[in-house]
């Protein structure tokens, strides 16, 4: 198999041909920040926070989509790279609410992590801000577009499942925002509440509505379990606080993995110490249903 030799931050690296600079850096323990990148799901080099400096290159390069090349010399934390990352973070924070103290994503937010890493703070300005809207129409997904950084992860992961593609980019320029179907609220859209978008969102723009407010990231113990509803065996996390399971959330999906609400509900019923009543959409609105109906057991029982 062809191998590539390059140097990253003075360290010789050997990787398989076709590997990206980000992957090469990761192989030697160097963490390059990324907001939009998600391997196998969203590899577009859009956020630019993963830029690196490459000798003889005319400009900084997005490491998540830059193929490693023989003899390449890369710097991941040069002064030019650090300043570029700081400026990107400043621009994102300029249009982001300063509510980290009460945000459910605190402690797991990539934007918070990188702002701390590069000592970037909120700044006062009189520039335009996107109008903040909070969509609570879906009982399973809370959407706050004031926190959205337009990374595109949710759009890409939603489009991976055949005949789903609920989320997409709407409008242009400064007015660009994530829309559901033809810019509907989530509760009125064709969203099936699978939770893929929540599991890949790097900030607090998409939150599991049923877990919101129950525990901060550092308060909850996490245990991985697998769904047994079908052969896919999707991965979920049990969140425990004070010894009790307070919620179940999906982990980041693999490429093309369907991840369904039925599986999520079954894991919730199996492990949650106080599972909430299941809700299903009927005639454009969500109504409480029995666990048998939510899990499709009624149809099975009819056949017996």
| pLDDT tens digit sequence for 120-138 | 999 998 988 887 889 999 9
The string over 33-44, giving b where at least 16 C-beta atoms fall within 10 Å of a residue's C-beta and e elsewhere, is bbbbbbeebbbe
Crossing angle of helices 110-117 and 79-94, rounded to 10°: 130
Per-residue pLDDT of 152-207, as tens digits, reads 999 999 998 877 899 999 999 999 999 999 999 999 999 989 899 999 999 999 99
Whether pLDDT at 264 is above 90: no
Would you list the domain boundaries of the chain? 3-86, 134-303
Q: Count CB neighbours of 283 within 10 A.
A: 5
Cα 254 to Cα 19: distance, rounded to the nearest angstrom:
19
The tally of CA atoms less than 13 A away on the side-chain side of residue 184 is 14
The string over 100-131, giving b where at least 16 C-beta atoms fall within 10 Å of a residue's C-beta and e elsewhere, is beebbbeeebbbbebbeebebeeeeeeeeeee
Phi, psi of 198 (to 5 degrees): -60, -45
* Comparison of pLDDT for 297 and 100, the residue scoring more: 100
Q: Cβ distance 147 to 109 under 8 Å? A: no
User: Average pLDDT in the 216-229 region?
Assistant: 92
Domains 3-86 and 134-303 share a fold: no
From residue 2, alpha-carbon distances to 15, 23, 68 in Å are: 9, 16, 12
Q: Note the CATH architecture for domain 134-303.
A: 2-Layer Sandwich (3.30)
| Residue found by looking up tokens 């609920």 in the block | 166
Answer positive or negative: Cα dihedral of 126, 127, 128, 133: negative
The secondary structure of 104-155, three-state, reads CCCCCCHHHHHHHHCCCCCCCCCCCCCCCCEECCCCCEEEEHHHCCCCCHHH
Per-residue pLDDT of 20-49, as tens digits, reads 999 999 999 999 999 999 998 899 999 999
User: Model confidence at 289, in pLDDT bands (50, 70, 90)?
Assistant: very high
Question: Where does 3-86 sit in CATH, by number?
Answer: 3.10.20.740
User: Model confidence at 257, in pLDDT bands (50, 70, 90)?
Assistant: low
Residues above pLDDT 70, as percent of the chain: 96
User: Average pLDDT in the 142-151 region?
Assistant: 96
Rounded to 10 degrees, the C-alpha dihedral 106/111/115/117 comes to 90
């Amino acid at each position: 198999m062809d191998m590539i030799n390059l140097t990253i931050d003075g360290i010789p690296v050997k990787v398989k041909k076709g590997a990206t600079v980000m992957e090469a850096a990761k192989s030697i323990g160097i963490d390059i920040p990324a907001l939009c990148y998600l391997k196998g799901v969203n590899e577009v080099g859009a956020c630019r926070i993963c830029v690196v400096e490459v000798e003889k290159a005319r400009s900084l390069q997005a490491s998540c989509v830059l193929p490693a090349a023989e003899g390449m010399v890369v710097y991941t934390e040069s002064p030019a790279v650090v300043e570029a990352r700081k400026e990107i973070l400043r621009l994102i924070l300029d249009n982001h609410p300063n509510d980290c103290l009460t945000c459910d994503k605190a402690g797991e937010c990539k934007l918070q992590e990188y702002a701390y890493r590069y000592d970037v703070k909120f700044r006062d300005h009189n520039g335009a801000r996107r109008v903040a809207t909070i969509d609570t129409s879906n009982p399973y997904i809370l959407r706050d577009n004031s926190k959205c950084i337009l990374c595109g992860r949710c759009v890409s992961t939603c489009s991976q499942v055949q005949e789903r593609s609920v989320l997409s980019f709407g409008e242009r320029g400064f007015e660009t925002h994530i829309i559901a179907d033809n810019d509907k609220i989530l509760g009125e859209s064709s969203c099936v509440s699978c939770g893929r978008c929540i599991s890949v969102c790097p900030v607090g723009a998409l939150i599991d509505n049923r877990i919101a407010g129950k525990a901060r990231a550092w308060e909850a113990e996490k245990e991985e379990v697998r769904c047994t509803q079908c052969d896919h065996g999707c991965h979920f996390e049990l969140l425990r606080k004070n010894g009790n399971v307070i919620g179940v959330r999906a982990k980041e999906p693999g490429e093309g993995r369907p991840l369904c609400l039925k599986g999520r509900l079954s894991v919730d019923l199996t492990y949650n110490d106080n599972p909430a009543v299941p809700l299903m959409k009927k005639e454009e609105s969500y109504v409480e249903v029995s666990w048998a109906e939510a899990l499709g057991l009624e149809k099975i029982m009819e056949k017996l």
